[in-house]
Structure 1
Amino acid sequence: MVVIYWLLIAVMVVGVIGSVVPAIPGSSLILIAVIAWGIISSSFAAIKIPLLVTGIVLILSMGVDFLAGYLGAKQAGASKWGQIGALVGLFLGIFGLLPALPFGGPLLGMLIGPLLGAIVGEYLYQRNLGAAVKAGIGITVGTLVGNLIQGILAISALITFIWSTWPQVYSG
């Protein structure tokens, strides 16, 4: 039972990483691990609070994900073109050409891709390089702040789970 507990915590750590890194499941993976522990331990009473916290974290993370990018784009005066460019740049950065770089790979592509994509998208729309760069930076900063908030939320879900279930696993 202890081995399964630590395997589920490892899955939750991947979920914490996924809450910050796109293309890896985040809070939903943590929620699945919490539910799995409830089934395995046959004690849903022990996971009532972690289940509630993780459900709230999942809902908040989805809201933060949408809101952070939107607010960053709005603050920088970005259009839909810049937002679409950032999304295309993110996918190209992670899966496209940027992973072939000699250093950084997909992680570097995750940072550079949305920035370049937003700049290109915004430039195609406005034909103003200064405004395009400003929009690209705004979208990127908004996304990074959103990812940081999602990471903090995911860590709180993990800590709540450990805090609530530790006595159940290690009680004498």
Structure 2
Amino acid sequence: MEIIGWILVIVLFLVGLAGAVYPILPGALAIYAAFFVYGFFISFEPFGWIFWTLQTLIVVVLFVADYAVNAWGVKRFGGSRASVIGSTIGVLIGPFVIPAFGLILGPFIGAVVGELTAGSNVERSVKVGIGSVVGLFSSIVVKIALQVIMIVLFALWLIF
């Protein structure tokens, strides 16, 4: 059972890290679920309230940062609320509509359409679209860093 538990933990960690790049995957929740899998298959003993509090706080920060950093990119380049919403929609549906390039084109197109809807000109809308891509990549970096911290904390809790 222990081997099955470790295989599931590692798969969930990989799915979680992939979720930082591909927003359809559960990301931080997969990593968080790996801790429960470890507990059910191996032992909850190493994890106390400090571990669970830290991990839960990181997950909350990840959810807030995911939206905030992406919105920051749009706002930083002069985007409106409509372009933030368009970019968010683009992140979610872009990979399905345009499989190879949807992760980049989705938020870009969504932000441009949102900004045009808000009444901006094409030049400003394209600038905001670029900001959405900058925000997306910044968000990915933040998510990967925080998810790696989650995994490292897990490993440290097992070692010490």
TM-score (norm 1): 0.81
Residue equivalent to 1:170: none
Residue equivalent to 2:33: 32
Seq. identity, %: 28
**Aligned ranges 1:19-98 → 2 under 5 Å:** 19-42=20-43, 44-48=44-48, 50-96=51-97, 98=98
Residue equivalent to 2:102: 109
Could you say what secondary structure the match of 1:126 adopts? Answer: coil
Q: CA deviation at 1:132?
A: 0.4
Q: Residues of 1 paired with 2:51 and 2:27: CA distance?
A: 15
CA contact (8 A) 1:86 1:139 kept: yes
Q: What 5-or-longer segments of structure 1 have no aligned partner?
A: 100-104, 168-172
**How many matched pairs?**
158
Residue equivalent to 1:150: 143
Residue equivalent to 1:125: 118
Q: CA deviation at 1:141?
A: 0.9
Cα distance per residue 1:29-82 (max 9 Å; x no partner):
11111022122223x231335534321220110110121122222211111221
CA contact (8 A) 1:115 1:139 kept: yes
Q: CA deviation at 1:94?
A: 1.2
CA contact (8 A) 1:30 1:54 kept: no
Structure 1 residues 92 and 13, CA, compared in 2 at 3 Å: closer, same or farther?
closer
Structure 1 residues 70 and 90, CA, compared in 2 at 3 Å: closer, same or farther?
closer
Q: Residues of 1 paired with 2:16 and 2:22: CA distance?
A: 10
Q: What 5-or-longer segments of structure 2 have no aligned partner?
A: none
TM-score (norm 2): 0.86
Paired residue type of 1:89: G
Residue equivalent to 1:136: 129
CA contact (8 A) 2:90 2:107 kept: yes
Structure showing greater Rg: 1
Q: Looking at both structures, which has the greater relative contact order when contacts are Cα pairs under 8 Å and sequence separation is at least 6?
A: 1
